[in-house]
Amino acid sequence: MTDYDTGTPFTHLVELYPSNPVDCYNVWLNGKRWKTRMGWSNVLEGLKKALPRRIKSLMACTLLAQS
């Protein structure tokens, strides 16, 4: 996700790595471990709270990819 709010573009890198149990992920944000063993809906909820204005574009991309 790229943040243009500051006037200088800043890219936030969100990485999901599979973990146990099935359908859970270890989440890295900007190269640092952010959360472990999170389900997809919890990942989106957590990102929405951590990056409130930036999540809209991520959710829109996710919805487009699913259709």
What is the pLDDT, as a whole number, of residue 27? Answer: 93
What is the pLDDT, as a whole number, of residue 5? Answer: 74
pTM of the model: 0.63
Distance of alpha carbon 43 from alpha carbon 41, whole angstroms? 5
In tens, the pLDDT along 2-54 reads 877 778 888 889 899 999 888 899 999 899 998 899 998 998 888 778 776 65
17: CB partners within 8 A, 6+ apart: 25, 26, 27, 28
Distance of alpha carbon 14 from alpha carbon 58, whole angstroms? 10
Other CB atoms within 10 A of residue 64 CB: 8
What is the pLDDT, as a whole number, of residue 54? Answer: 56
What is the pLDDT, as a whole number, of residue 28? Answer: 93
What is the pLDDT, as a whole number, of residue 17? Answer: 95
